[in-house]
């Protein structure tokens, strides 16, 4: 079997035993990329020559020595384009490494390439990319999810072993669910955001998309830790996760929040999630009915706070300092207007305008400050729930991947794709999505496990136990 189909953990063992060389992994990955990338369009940039050069001098003694990793195109990497899938960053090359990228390098990883995304991470389908849409490996007529759709499609399509993504409202977990891979959003503050192009700074978090829970735990062990360049990172020392790979769910209290089982939810999705809950019960966990009563407000709160922060963060893209610059502008105001009009796509403009509105004089009290108060209530809902249980079990997405183009003209319907993931970002908790079934049309269904803040060890242990008891990862997209 091609090495492109192996897990990181398996390849590390084979590398250490000298059975294979890092160049062998890259050779098989590039063969897969050449065969599938034209259809999937998961990448915006590939490191063919530099990756092969790095493979020749890889230090196999390091935790990720010789392992190629792909990066979402909003992580600054020294000397690389960092477009955020936007025309406004045409020609920009990063002058430094994001902390997450530096940590991957220090762990011996080989940078494979940069993956496609919704422009500035604003979207749920990767159809908002100025560099072309990405397709789902299970059905190329359907979306891969977003905004980390390129990362998810690359991992699921066997053209990357693993990839980093960013999650502001579900952008790691939702595409992982729709593409049938594992997506981990760490607790806010667990992983440094330094060098991640900001969308909404109080919500953004970097995390891995992988084939297995074990691989996600390995990457989190490399990425986690305090960074003095990001004062929102937690001071606790780095940890190793999933140290007991044969753990069980015996004795765990697993909460089922009633607000996440909605009338009208896709019946195959609900059936798969209910079956997963039954598995936990049969294997020694206790199921607890819980309530997160402010969940119905989460979409509205998110699209006030996230757009407000986006309005401030994206003000830096003005055509003066870097990236696209409009030509023949009459004056500075015209330069700003034309640069931003030409450079930003429709969805980014929509969110900047909304964010500017909710921060404007006379409306900030009515919208922005009220949303902050409700966010505090949402956080309290989670804190109360975790006095009754150790984990929450929910769907990741209310339905499987939908057809390309189905929602591009209906932003409100598109926003509902993240209805089960947004609350976790608002509360700052960690969560994982992993496969828990397939529809009759052979589309993946994702299970979400949410933990208390800095509860990744419990999340990963439970997810790994579930994964090892099922064969969902043995199923592959059609070649």
Distance of alpha carbon 198 from the chain centroid: 14
Question: Within a 10 A sphere around the Cβ of 318, how many other Cβ atoms?
Answer: 17
Write down the residue that tokens 């090892």 correspond to.
Answer: 468
Distance of alpha carbon 398 from the chain centroid: 17
List, in order, residues 6 or more apart from 246 with CB less than 8 Å away.
Answer: none
Integer Cα distance of 406 and 41 in angstroms:
19
Strand pairing class (162-166; 68-72):
parallel
Q: Is 147 a catalytic residue?
A: yes
Active-site residue, selected from the candidate residues 86, 171, 221, 433: 171
Contact between residue 450 and residue 424 where contact means Cβ atoms under 8 Å apart? yes
Q: Is 469 a catalytic residue?
A: no
- Tokens for 207? 């995390």
Active-site residue, selected from the candidate residues 86, 147, 221, 423: 147
Question: Within a 10 A sphere around the Cβ of 146, how many other Cβ atoms?
Answer: 32
Q: Is 18 a catalytic residue?
A: no
Integer Cα distance of 214 and 291 in angstroms:
30
Dihedral of CA 272/274/276/279: which sign?
negative
Contact between residue 340 and residue 88 where contact means Cβ atoms under 8 Å apart? yes
**How long, in residues, is the chain?**
479
Report CA-CA distances (Å) from 337 to 330, 331, 345. Answer: 11, 10, 14
Closest alpha carbon to 174 in 197, 152, 156: 152
Catalytic residues: 72, 147, 171
């Amino acid at each position: 079997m091609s090495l492109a189909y192996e897990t990181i953990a398996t390849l590390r063992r084979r590398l250490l035993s000298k059975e294979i060389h890092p160049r062998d992994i890259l050779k098989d990955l590039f063969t897969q990329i050449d065969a599938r990338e034209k259809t999937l369009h998961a990448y915006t940039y590939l490191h063919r020559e530099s990756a092969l050069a790095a493979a020749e001098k890889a230090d196999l003694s390091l935790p990720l020595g010789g392992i190629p990793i792909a990066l979402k195109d909003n992580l600054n990497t020294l000397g690389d384009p960092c477009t955020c899938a936007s025309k406004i960053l045409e020609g920009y090359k990063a002058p430094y490494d994001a902390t997450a990228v530096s940590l991957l390098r220090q762990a011996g990883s080989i940078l494979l390439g940069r993956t496609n995304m919704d422009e500035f991470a604003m979207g749920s389908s990767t159809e908002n990319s100025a560099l072309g849409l990405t397709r789902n490996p299970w059905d190329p007529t359907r979306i891969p999810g977003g905004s980390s759709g390129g990362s998810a499609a690359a991992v699921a399509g066997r053209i990357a072993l693993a990839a980093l993504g960013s999650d502001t409202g579900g952008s790691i977990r939702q595409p992982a669910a729709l593409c049938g891979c594992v997506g981990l959003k760490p607790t806010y503050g667990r992983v440094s955001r330094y060098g991640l192009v900001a969308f909404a700074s109080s919500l953004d978090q970097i995390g891995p998309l992988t084939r297995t829970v074990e691989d996600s735990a390995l990457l989190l062990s490399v990425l986690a830790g305090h960074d003095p360049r990001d004062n929102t990172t937690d001071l606790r020392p780095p940890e190793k996760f999933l140290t007991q790979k044969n753990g069980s769910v015996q004795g765990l209290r697993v909460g089922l929040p009633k607000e996440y089982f909605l009338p009208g939810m896709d019946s195959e999705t609900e059936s798969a999630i209910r079956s997963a809950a039954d598995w936990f019960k049969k294997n020694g966990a206790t199921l607890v009915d819980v309530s997160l009563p402010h969940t119905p407000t989460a979409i509205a709160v998110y699209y006030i706070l996230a757009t407000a922060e986006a309005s401030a963060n994206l003000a830096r893209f003005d055509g003066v300092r870097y990236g696209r610059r409009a030509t023949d502008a009459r004056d500075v105001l015209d330069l700003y207007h034309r640069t931003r009009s030409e450079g930003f796509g429709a969805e980014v403009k929509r969110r900047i305008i909304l964010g500017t509105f909710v921060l404007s004089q006379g409306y900030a009290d009515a919208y922005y400050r009220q949303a902050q108060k409700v966010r505090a209530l949402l956080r309290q809902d989670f804190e109360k729930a975790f006095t009754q249980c150790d984990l929450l079990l929910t769907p990741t997405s209310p339905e499987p991947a939908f057809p390309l183009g189905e929602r591009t003209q209906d932003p409100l319907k598109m926003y509902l794709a993240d209805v089960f993931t947004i609350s976790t970002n608002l509360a700052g908790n960690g969560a994982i999505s992993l496969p828990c079934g397939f529809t009759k049309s052979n589309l993946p269904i994702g299970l979400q496990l949410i933990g208390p803040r800095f509860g990744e060890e419990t999340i990963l242990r439970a997810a790994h136990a579930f994964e090892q008891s099922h064969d969902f990862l043995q199923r592959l997209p059609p070649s």
